[in-house]
Amino acid sequence: MHIEKCSEGRDLSPATDKLWKKFYEKQFGAKNTEQVVERMRKSSKAFKWIQLYEAKLEDIAEHEKKSVARLKQLYKKEDARKQSRQVQLCTKVPPSKNKRSFCGGSGPGHNVTNLKSNLMKKSKIDFLNSHEMKNLAAMKKKPLPRNGGTSLVMKPAQFSRKDSATTSKLFKPVERKF
């Protein structure tokens, strides 16, 4: 190639065309060379092998540039996807313990943070909000008055023969102190 470039006034293609065909075949393969020869026969045009060699090199370089650009684009897209999936720091401060908890708003005093599954948290919150638990909590908050009053508890009386026909006299009130 250097010799041909330096001797611009002379046409060395009759001597070097066979060499360029060999270079082309070594560089791009016999199959590619046969395709080029077939195309030249169909179009009935003859090209110099140096021109075909340079055109093929430019085509390969262009294809490589497109491939590199496509790879760069794919890498950018993947980096953007990874950036969007990264853990991001939250600037919000969780509310204090005396307000509501994060676990479904179970209300104050209900500790359900140590439960593993959401289903268990929900069932415990439902249990803590049930009437039974509310009644127990109300009883704990409001003790019974201890003013010496007595409560009436019905105690079954002895079953006697003469009162066997009526059931209204079976129970008589018994006084108890707590």
As averages over each run of 10 residues, the pLDDT of the chain (178 residues) reads 74 78 88 88 83 90 96 95 83 65 50 71 84 82 59 52 54 59
Q: What is the structure's pLDDT at 101?
A: 46
Q: What is the structure's pLDDT at 168?
A: 53
Contact 50, 20 (CB under 8 A): yes
**3-class state of residue 57 by DSSP:** helix
131 located within any domain: no
Contacts of 21 (CB under 8 A, 6+ apart): 33, 49
161 located within any domain: no
125 located within any domain: no
**3-class state of residue 52 by DSSP:** helix
Contact 178, 149 (CB under 8 A): no
pTM: 0.41
157 located within any domain: no
137 located within any domain: no
167 located within any domain: no
**3-class state of residue 153 by DSSP:** strand
Q: What is the structure's pLDDT at 136?
A: 82
69 located within any domain: yes
Q: Which domain holds residue 40?
A: 12-85
77 located within any domain: yes
Contact 104, 120 (CB under 8 A): no
Q: What is the structure's pLDDT at 87?
A: 79
Q: What is the structure's pLDDT at 27?
A: 87
Q: What is the structure's pLDDT at 72?
A: 96
* Total domains, the chain: 1
